[in-house]
Amino acid sequence: MIELRNVSKTYHLKGGDVQAVRDVSLSVADGEIYGVIGYSGAGKSSLVRCINLLEVPDSGSITVNGTAITWQDGGAFRRLSNHDMKAVRKGIGMIFQHFNLLDRSTVFDNVAYPLRYSGRSAAQIRARVQELLELVDLTDKAAVYPSQLSGGQKQRVAIARALANNPPVLLSDEATSALDPDATESILELLKELNKKLHLTIILITHEMAVIKSVCHKVAVMEDGRVVESGDVYSVFASPQQEITKRFIGAGAAAERIAAIARQGNPGARIVRLQFQKDAVGDALISEISRSFNVNVSIVLANVEMIQGSPLGEIVVAMSGAAAEISAALVYLQERNVRVLEIGRGKETGGTHV
């Protein structure tokens, strides 16, 4: 559906050049919700704007819906003409952080705006707008103005407008960043519903890992213009490889704070973080190691969450007993697909730091 190969973009500013996107390659499958996450300045918005040529990259190839919009011809960079790009953009909807609605137009007219240049009759436009407003649950707001809407309702109008021409692709550039938590959840649920109902391919730009966890199938983590880590969401959450990914997930400093608290109540104990993936969640492994290895295990923190329909469990424990028995217990856990990290000792066993 969407292929990016070695895409780069540099802005030439008075203060010097800024390399916003550096040699990025991504592949987004048909019907997939693909998240791109990074801190401010990571290059994620520049990257997504290259997909519909709102920003023209300096190099690399981009293919959308089977059409090459940029490509390398030998050593030369080529792109579609503005005329040909108009047809491609009809298949790419886009929503933004600040909605970009027409303040002096009603909700109906905002949604109808892209349809007025599509050759449709007034009756066809009216029917399509009603269909779209029903899709985003705003049928009772057709005659009101944006100033009378909440932030979440404004974003629903923007989504309806972006879908006016039935695009198979939707680009979302920080679409929930200006919304409160309830509105954010509502918009994310709507995007999931649209993905399923319309088989919509969505690229979602965000700086919030909770957004990625809630709706995305795959994720790419950007830093300094580069994609530094990517994969399916469950794998990235379960086993982050890069320090920036660990910061997004909260696996670094938070673990050390938990360990400090645990040591206060369990002096001399070894503080261990255990991660239970999929089939291991729910197994009575803590009670088993206490009985089998004569190890005292105090649970400091426990949590299980669902990511893409699969459970990911985590327990922080304080373990006390003979060193050999504790080591044997940890090996036993690893053999049952539990990831093990001793917090604060700089020592890791059984997989990637989580």
pLDDT at position 353 is: 34
CA separation for the pair 1, 314 (Å, rounded): 36
- pLDDT of the chain, 354 residues: tens digit per residue: 899 999 999 999 998 999 999 999 999 999 999 999 999 999 999 999 999 999 999 999 999 999 999 999 988 999 999 999 988 999 999 999 889 999 999 999 999 999 988 889 999 999 999 999 999 999 999 999 999 999 999 999 999 999 999 999 999 999 998 899 999 999 999 999 999 999 999 999 999 888 999 899 999 999 999 999 999 999 998 888 898 998 888 654 455 666 666 666 677 788 888 888 776 655 578 888 888 998 999 888 888 888 888 888 888 888 999 999 999 999 999 888 888 888 765 444 444 333
- Going edge to edge, which strands form the sheet with 92-96? 92-96, 169-173, 201-206, 33-37, 218-223, 226-232
Q: Are 195 and 33 in contact (CB under 8 A)?
A: yes
Q: Are 170 and 200 in contact (CB under 8 A)?
A: yes
Q: Are 348 and 354 in contact (CB under 8 A)?
A: no
pLDDT at position 324 is: 93
CB atoms within 10 A of CB 8: 19
CA separation for the pair 227, 131 (Å, rounded): 38
pLDDT at position 287 is: 86
3-state secondary structure the chain: CEEEEEEEEEEEECCEEEEEEEEEEEEECCCCEEEEECCCCCCHHHHHHHHCCCCCCCEEEEEECCEEEEEEECCEEEECCHHHHHHHHCCEEEEECCCCCCCCCCHHHHHHHHHHHCCCCHHHHHHHHHHHHHHCCCHHHCCCCHHHCCHHHHHHHHHHHHCCCCCCEEEEECCCCCCCHHHHHHHHHHHHHHHHHHCCEEEEEECCHHHHHHHCCEEEEEECCEEEEEEEHHHHHHCCCCHHHHHHHCCCHHHHHHHHHHHHHCCCCEEEEEEEEHHHCCCCHHHHHHHHHCCEEEEEEEEEEEECCEEEEEEEEEEECCHHHHHHHHHHHHHCCEEEEECCCCEEECCCCC
Amino acid identity for residue 136 in this structure: V
CA separation for the pair 256, 228 (Å, rounded): 24
Q: Are 311 and 278 in contact (CB under 8 A)?
A: yes
Location of structure tokens 């923190």: 301
Q: Are 154 and 146 in contact (CB under 8 A)?
A: yes
Lookup: tokens for 291 = 């009985």
Q: Are 21 and 47 in contact (CB under 8 A)?
A: yes
